[in-house]
């Protein structure tokens, strides 16, 4: 079984409008709503690739209920911890001449709720895959990723960590199966700006990972994949889609296949209004 963890799920409310005038009433041309959060995005794209997962994390209030119901309608299995206070956040994304985002804070997560999540994670078995993705709310301890990987270290679980800076650096000692910094995030970790493949490879080797369509495996071998061609419409969830594609691919084939499927899934999201769909992933996969 594949498990994803989203600490701060959200309803993404996307508003398309013409010119935005601050201090005035503006009218939308159209709106969309999506159920978001990096782990949730991974679960949704895994479903498109016929890989069942279980989405874990925290939800609260009427917005949390809407997230769970929406995911259930999409065929996503969930087992969230229900918080007693607050509401899961709503993120407002305004797409006009420029794109503006206003992300909610989300509810506080207390120790009791964290322990309930740990109890759910304790049920994972050898051979399962756990995907930890995204930042963490301020109410959680900064070492929550470390605590989870330490708790599961005695089991043969494939772990995937998609995070930045210290959240990622501090879990390397537990040897996650896959980590996915992009070139900007990789440079931030070492205080440098990376401008070419040689520099990316140099610093990726320090993490035993790669950027985008470059993978460095546990034996130090480099795997590369070409880029997908298309018009970029959307950057939200492209990295999550790549994680989903790679995870699905490694369950079905080798590194080359997984990297190719991950690249196609990331491109399919980038070239769509929402998250990648099966048909677009398959179309792009054939071009790589």
Element (H, E) at 162: strand 158-162
Residues 191, 7, 3, 69, Cα dihedral to 10°: -140
Burial call 193-217: b when 16+ CB within 10 Å, e when fewer? ebeeeebbbebbeebbbbbbbbbbe
For the record, the structure tokens of 31 come out as: 């709106």
DSSP 170: T
**Cα 232 to the chain's mean position, in Å?**
19
**Taking a C-beta distance cutoff of 8 angstroms, is the pair 8, 37 a contact?**
yes
d(CA 135, CA 138) in angstroms, rounded, equals 9
Do the Cβ atoms of 4 and 53 come closer than 8 Å? Answer: yes
Q: How many CA atoms lie within 13 A of 127 on its CB side?
A: 2
Q: Which helix (H) or strand (E) holds 93?
A: strand 89-95
Alpha-helical (H) ranges within the chain are 38-48, 61-73, 111-121, 144-151, 165-169, 183-190, 197-207, 238-252, 255-270, 278-285
**Which string of DSSP letters, residue by residue, matches 25-40?**
---EEEEEEEEE-HHH
Set 126, 240, 254, 273: catalytic member:
240
Q: Does 162 qualify as catalytic in the annotation? A: no
Instruction: List the beta bridge partners of residue 99.
Output: 95
- Two tokens at 70? 């929406």
Residues with catalytic roles: 240
């Amino acid at each position: 079984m594949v498990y994803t963890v989203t600490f701060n799920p959200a309803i993404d409310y996307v508003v398309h409008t013409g010119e935005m005038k601050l201090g005035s009433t503006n009218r939308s041309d159209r709106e969309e709503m999506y159920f978001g959060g990096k782990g949730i995005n991974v679960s949704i794209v895994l479903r498109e690739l016929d890989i069942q997962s279980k989405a874990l994390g925290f939800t609260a209030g009427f917005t949390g209920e809407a997230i769970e119901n929406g995911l259930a309608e999409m065929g996503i299995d969930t087992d969230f911890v229900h918080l007693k206070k607050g509401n899961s956040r709503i993120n407002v994304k305004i797409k006009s001449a420029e794109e503006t985002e206003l992300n909610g804070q989300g509810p506080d997560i207390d120790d009791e709720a964290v322990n309930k999540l740990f109890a759910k994670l304790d049920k994972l078995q050898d051979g399962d895959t756990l995907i930890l993705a995204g930042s963490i709310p301020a109410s959680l301890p900064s070492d929550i990723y470390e605590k989870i990987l330490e708790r599961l270290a005695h089991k043969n679980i494939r772990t995937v960590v998609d995070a930045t800076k210290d959240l990622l650096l501090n879990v390397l000692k537990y040897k996650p199966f896959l980590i996915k910094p992009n070139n900007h995030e990789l440079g931030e970790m070492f205080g440098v700006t990376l401008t070419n493949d040689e520099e990316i490879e140099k610093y990726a080797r320090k993490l035993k990972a790669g950027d985008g369509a470059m993978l460095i495996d546990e034996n130090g071998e480099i795997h590369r994949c070409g880029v997908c061609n298309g018009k970029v419409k959307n950057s939200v969830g492209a990295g999550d889609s790549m994680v989903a594609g790679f995870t699905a691919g490694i369950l079905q084939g080798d590194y080359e296949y997984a990297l190719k499927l991950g690249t196609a899934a990331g491109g399919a999201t980038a070239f769509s209004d929402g998250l990648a769909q099966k048909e677009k992933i398959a179309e792009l996969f054939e071009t790589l």
